[in-house]
Structures are given as structure tokens and as C-alpha cells.
């Protein structure tokens, strides 16, 4: 059964909508309560359907994340033991060796999603907290380029990928960049097509031109 047929039989409902072909989603939240109110039903549905769950969180919030999953009736210990659930601290993923490398990260996500399929999981539901980009580490300024390039890697993918952003901590400039690099957005608790999204090729070209203008990279010959 192909992805479209599978989705027709078992549509993914999330934040008041049915998920379509675009699966790279940014979620803006002001409180953990607001975030988990929307995420937990989506996460639980994936477990019930036998799908893989892969989550990346702030190491300081790891226990709180597990507590919230358990409170939703998810048997976390059993899911981890079976390989259905993986929970990583963001140092293990985004900030491995103390810095952010977007090439390494994109390759890592590709491996994670491919491996889940090879193990027989029909889909992976990926949730990543993005506040690691506020930390003082080499490479974190590449966040927007990374988000745009993720679209190119994930084009036509079956797996929903949710990047969560705390609206109280990120600047307006970063939020605008996030909006321009995600085809779907959760605003006001509702999942919707993102009117600010621009194709990744266009975004990356604009980024290159800006870097040339600011003297951050040489102009192409």
C-alpha cells in the first residue's frame, strides 16, 4: 500500500485538521501546557497505530516529557524496550561534540527515518524541541538554512516532523525565518497551511545573496 492510500484509510488528524502532503510543521507555543494539549493526542495516536515515535528534548525537561507521555496512557518503558519509542537529549542529536553541523544533522535524520522503515514501522512521528538554537554553540546560526534544506531532504516524505518553538524565547526575526521555512504551521492551536512559506530553493538563494551582501561569503563567479 502506498503512502497516499494508507493516509486515506488512516488519516492523520492533528490540531483541528487533517494532515495533507506537507509534513514539515512548525508549532509555536507559549507554555508547555498549550504544547502538550495539542501534541499528546497526536503522539498517542501514532503509538496506537504501531508507528515509530522519535522525540528530541531539552535534557533538563527529559523527565517532565516522560511524565507527560505516561500521564496520557502511553507505556513509555514498554515502547522504549520494543524500539517503538526513542527519546534523545538535544546534545545527542543537534549539538553532538558541542556544535551544530547541519550536514551531519540532515544525514542523521535521513538515517533515523530510513532505519524505522527498515524495521517495519509504517511511519515515524518526529517531535523536536528547537530551543537548542538559543544556546551559545558554534553552528547554531545556521538554523534557518538547515530548516530550508530539511524541506529538500524530506520532500514527499510520509513522516510528520514537528519542530516546536517557544514563542516567549525566540526573537521576531527568528520566528519569521521559521515561518518561511515550514509549509505547515500551528498557530492559535490550529494546524494550517503556512501563507508565509516560500520554496526552499528560493529561500536558500535569498540567504546566499544576503550572505554575499553582508560579506559572509564570496560572490559566485
Residues 156-167 pLDDT 10s: 889 999 999 999
Nearest partner of 157 among 185, 133, 184, judged by Cα: 184
**pTM score:** 0.90
Long-range contact set of residues 196-202: C-beta below 8 Å, sequence gap at least 24: 200/148, 200/149, 200/151, 200/152, 201/152
Tally of structural domains, the chain = 1
9, part of any domain: no
Residue 94 domain-assigned (yes or no): yes
**pLDDT tens, 46-104?**
999 999 999 999 999 999 999 999 999 999 999 999 999 999 999 999 999 999 999 99
Residue 200 sits in a domain of what CATH number? 3.40.50.300
Is the pLDDT at 3 greater than 80? The verdict is no
Which residue range is the domain that position 19 belongs to?
15-213
- Output 93-97 pairs: Cβ under 8 A, ≥24 positions apart: 93/56, 93/128, 94/56, 94/132, 94/133, 95/132, 95/135, 95/137
Q: Which helix (H) or strand (E) holds 173?
A: helix 172-180
Amino acid at each position: 500500500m502506498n503512502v497516499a492510500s494508507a493516509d486515506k484509510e488512516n488519516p492523520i488528524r492533528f490540531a483541528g485538521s487533517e494532515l495533507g502532503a506537507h509534513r514539515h510543521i512548525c508549532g509555536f507555543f507559549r507554555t508547555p501546557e498549550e504544547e502538550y494539549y495539542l501534541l499528546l493526542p497526536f503522539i498517542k495516536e501514532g503509538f496506537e497505530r504501531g508507528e515509530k515515535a522519535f522525540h528530541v528534548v531539552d535534557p533538563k525537561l527529559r523527565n517532565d516529557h516522560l511524565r507527560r507521555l505516561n500521564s496520557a496512557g502511553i507505556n513509555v518503558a514498554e515502547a522504549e524496550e520494543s524500539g517503538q519509542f526513542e527519546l534523545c537529549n538535544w546534545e545527542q542529536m543537534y549539538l553532538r561534540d558541542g556544535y551544530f553541523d547541519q550536514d551531519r544533522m540532515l544525514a542523521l535524520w535521513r538515517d533515523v527515518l530510513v532505519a524505522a522503515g527498515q524495521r517495519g514501522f509504517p511511519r515515524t512521528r518526529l517531535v523536536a524541541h528547537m530551543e537548542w538554537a538559543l544556546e551559545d554553540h558554534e553552528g547554531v546560526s545556521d538554523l534557518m538554512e538547515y530548516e530550508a534544506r530539511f524541506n529538500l531532504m524530506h520532500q514527499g516524505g510520509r513522516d510528520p516532523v514537528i519542530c516546536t518553538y517557544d514563542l516567549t524565547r525566540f526573537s521576531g526575526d527568528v520566528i519569521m525565518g521559521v515561518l518561511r521555512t515550514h509549509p505547515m504551521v500551528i498557530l492559535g492551536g490550529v494546524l494550517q497551511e503556512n501563507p508565509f512559506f516560500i520554496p526552499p530553493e528560493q529561500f536558500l538563494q535569498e540567504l546566499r545573496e544576503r550572505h554575499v551582501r553582508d560579506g559572509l561569503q564570496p560572490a559566485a563567479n
